Structure 1
Amino acid sequence: MTHILAIDQGTTSSRAILFDKDMHPLRTAQQEFTQHFPNSGWVEHDPDEIWDSVVATCRDAVEGRDVTAIGITNQRETTLVWDRVTGAPIHNAIVWQDRRTAERCSELKAQGHEALITERTGLLLDPYFSATKLAWILDNVEGARARAEAGELVFGTVDTFLIWRLTDGASHVTDATNAARTMLYDIKSGQWDKDICGLLNIPMSMLPEVKDCAAKFGVTDLFGDPVPILGVAGDQQAATIGQACFEPSMLKSTYGTGCFALLNTGDTPVTSQNRLLTTIAYQLDGKPTYALEGSIFIAGAAVQWLRDGLGIIDNAAETTSLADAADPAQEVILVPAFTGMGAPYWDADCRGAIFGLTRGSGPKEFARAALEAVGFQTRDLLEAMQSDMGAGGNAVLRVDGGMAASDWAMQFLSDINDAQVDRPTVLETTALGAAWLAGMKAGVYPDQAGFAEAWALEHRFTPKMDANTRAARYAGWKDAVSRTLSQ
Structure 2
Amino acid sequence: MGLDLAKETGLPLSTYPSCVKLVWMLEHVPKIKETYEAGRLAFGTVDTWLLYNMNGKNRDYFVTDSSNASRTMFVNLHTLQWDDKLLNFFGLDRNKLHLPRIVPSSDPKSYGHMASGPLEGLKIAGCMGDQSAALVGQQGFRPGSAKNTYGTGCFLLYNVGSKPVVSTHGLLGTVAYDFGGNSKPVYALEGSVAVAGSGVKFMMNNMGFITHSHKISELAATVEDNGGCVFVTAFSGLFAPYWIDDAKGTIFGITQHTQRGHIARATLEAVCFQTKAILDAMEKDSGHGLSSLAVDGGMSNSNLCMQTQANIIGIPVDRPAMRETTALGAAIAAGFAVEVWREFSELRAINQKDRKVFNPDISPEESDKMFKKWTRAVEMCKGWLDPDERGDF
Pair in the same fold by TM > 0.5: yes
Tell me how far apart the structure 1 counterparts of residues 7 and 140 of structure 2 sit (CA, whole Å): 25
Give the 5 Å matches for 1:24-43.
none
Tell me how far apart the structure 1 counterparts of residues 119 and 214 of structure 2 sit (CA, whole Å): 38
What is the deviation of 1:315? Answer: 1.6
Residues 1:367 and 2:264 are matched in the alignment? yes
What is the deviation of 1:472? Answer: 1.4
Tell me how far apart the structure 1 counterparts of residues 260 and 92 of structure 2 sit (CA, whole Å): 47
Residues 1:209 and 2:101 are matched in the alignment? yes
What is the deviation of 1:224? Answer: 4.1
Tell me how far apart the structure 1 counterparts of residues 255 and 172 of structure 2 sit (CA, whole Å): 38
Tell me how far apart the structure 2 counterparts of residues 223 and 149 of structure 1 sit (CA, whole Å): 39
Is the alpha carbon distance of 1:356 and 1:206 closer, same or farther for their aligned partners in structure 2, counting shifts above 3 Å?
farther
For the Cα contact (< 8 Å) 1:332–1:354, is it kept in 2? yes
For the Cα contact (< 8 Å) 2:226–2:263, is it kept in 1? no
For the Cα contact (< 8 Å) 1:414–1:461, is it kept in 2? yes
Give 3-state SS (helix, strand or coil) of 2:241's partner.
coil
Partner in structure 2 of residue 90 of structure 1: none
What is the deviation of 1:453? Answer: 4.3
Partner in structure 1 of residue 295 of structure 2: 399
Task: Name the stretch that deviates more: 215-224 or 382-391.
Answer: 215-224
Give 3-state SS (helix, strand or coil) of 1:139's partner.
helix
Identify the match of residue 429 of structure 1 among 305, 315, 325.
Answer: 325
Task: Name the stretch that deviates more: 448-457 or 204-213.
Answer: 448-457
Tell me how far apart the structure 2 counterparts of residues 200 and 411 of structure 1 sit (CA, whole Å): 45
Q: How far does the alpha carbon of each residue in 1:135-175 deviate from its partner, in whole angstroms, 9 at most, with x for none? A: 11111112322212323332222211211222221122111
Identify the match of residue 411 of structure 1 among 293, 304, 307.
Answer: 307
For the Cα contact (< 8 Å) 1:184–1:192, is it kept in 2? yes
Q: How far does the alpha carbon of each residue in 1:196-237 deviate from its partner, in whole angstroms, 9 at most, with x for none? A: 111212343332111110123121123243112211111110
Partner in structure 1 of residue 371 of structure 2: 474
Residues 1:219 and 2:116 are matched in the alignment? no
Q: How far does the alpha carbon of each residue in 1:327-382 deviate from its partner, in whole angstroms, 9 at most, with x for none? A: 63612111111122111111233222111122333432221111111110011011
Give 3-state SS (helix, strand or coil) of 1:291's partner.
strand
Give 3-state SS (helix, strand or coil) of 2:123's partner.
strand
Tell me how far apart the structure 2 counterparts of residues 278 and 436 of structure 1 sit (CA, whole Å): 23
Is the alpha carbon distance of 1:450 and 1:370 closer, same or farther for their aligned partners in structure 2, counting shifts above 3 Å?
same
Q: Which runs of 5+ in 2 are unaligned?
A: 385-393
Tell me how far apart the structure 2 counterparts of residues 467 and 370 of structure 1 sit (CA, whole Å): 22
What is the deviation of 1:485? Answer: 2.4
Tell me how far apart the structure 1 counterparts of residues 265 and 93 of structure 2 sit (CA, whole Å): 48
What is the deviation of 1:447? Answer: 3.4
Task: Name the stretch that deviates more: 262-271 or 317-326.
Answer: 262-271
Partner in structure 2 of residue 269 of structure 1: 164
Q: Which amino acid is the alignment partner of residue 204 of structure 2?
A: R
For the Cα contact (< 8 Å) 2:113–2:120, is it kept in 1? no
Tell me how far apart the structure 2 counterparts of residues 218 and 137 of structure 1 sit (CA, whole Å): 30
Is the alpha carbon distance of 1:311 and 1:151 closer, same or farther for their aligned partners in structure 2, counting shifts above 3 Å?
farther
Identity of aligned residues (%): 38
Tell me how far apart the structure 1 counterparts of residues 158 and 226 of structure 2 sit (CA, whole Å): 36
Task: Name the stretch that deviates more: 345-354 or 449-458.
Answer: 449-458
Partner in structure 1 of residue 9 of structure 2: 121
What is the deviation of 1:468? Answer: 2.7
Tell me how far apart the structure 1 counterparts of residues 226 and 10 of structure 2 sit (CA, whole Å): 43
Identify the match of residue 90 of structure 2 among 197, 200, 211.
Answer: 200
Residues 1:166 and 2:54 are matched in the alignment? yes
For the Cα contact (< 8 Å) 1:244–1:455, is it kept in 2? no
Partner in structure 2 of residue 81 of structure 1: none
Partner in structure 2 of residue 76 of structure 1: none
Q: Which amino acid is the alignment partner of residue 440 of structure 1?
A: F
Q: Which amino acid is the alignment partner of residue 37 of structure 2?
A: E
Q: Which amino acid is the alignment partner of residue 409 of structure 1?
A: C
Residues 1:343 and 2:230 are matched in the alignment? no
Q: How far does the alpha carbon of each residue in 1:7-50 deviate from its partner, in whole angstroms, 9 at most, with x for none? A: xxxxxxxxxxxxxxxxxxxxxxxxxxxxxxxxxxxxxxxxxxxx
Partner in structure 1 of residue 253 of structure 2: 356
Partner in structure 2 of residue 37 of structure 1: none
Is the alpha carbon distance of 1:362 and 1:436 closer, same or farther for their aligned partners in structure 2, counting shifts above 3 Å?
same
Partner in structure 2 of residue 451 of structure 1: 347
Partner in structure 1 of residue 210 of structure 2: 313
What is the deviation of 1:446? Answer: 5.4
Give the 5 Å matches for 1:15-414.
113=3, 116-170=4-58, 171-204=61-94, 205-215=97-107, 216-220=110-114, 221-285=116-180, 287-326=184-223, 328=225, 330-392=227-289, 395-414=291-310
Q: How far does the alpha carbon of each residue in 1:361-412 deviate from its partner, in whole angstroms, 9 at most, with x for none? A: 34322211111111100110111111122234x6310111111111100000
Q: How many residues align?
A: 374
Tell me how far apart the structure 1 counterparts of residues 190 and 317 of structure 2 sit (CA, whole Å): 18
Is the alpha carbon distance of 1:249 and 1:224 closer, same or farther for their aligned partners in structure 2, counting shifts above 3 Å?
closer
If the length of structure 1 is used for normalisation, what is the TM-score? 0.73
Tell me how far apart the structure 1 counterparts of residues 83 and 66 of structure 2 sit (CA, whole Å): 13
If the length of structure 2 is used for normalisation, what is the TM-score? 0.90
| Structure with the bigger percentage of strand | 1
Q: Which amino acid is the alignment partner of residue 247 of structure 1?
A: R
Give 3-state SS (helix, strand or coil) of 1:217's partner.
coil
What is the deviation of 1:428? Answer: 0.6
Tell me how far apart the structure 2 counterparts of residues 381 and 241 of structure 1 sit (CA, whole Å): 20
Residues 1:462 and 2:359 are matched in the alignment? yes
Q: Which amino acid is the alignment partner of residue 340 of structure 1?
A: G
For the Cα contact (< 8 Å) 1:347–1:485, is it kept in 2? yes
Give 3-state SS (helix, strand or coil) of 2:347's partner.
helix
Tell me how far apart the structure 1 counterparts of residues 39 and 259 of structure 2 sit (CA, whole Å): 56
Q: Which amino acid is the alignment partner of residue 284 of structure 2?
A: S
Give 3-state SS (helix, strand or coil) of 1:368's partner.
helix
Q: Which amino acid is the alignment partner of residue 231 of structure 1?
A: G
For the Cα contact (< 8 Å) 1:231–1:438, is it kept in 2? yes
For the Cα contact (< 8 Å) 1:166–1:222, is it kept in 2? no
For the Cα contact (< 8 Å) 1:149–1:203, is it kept in 2? no
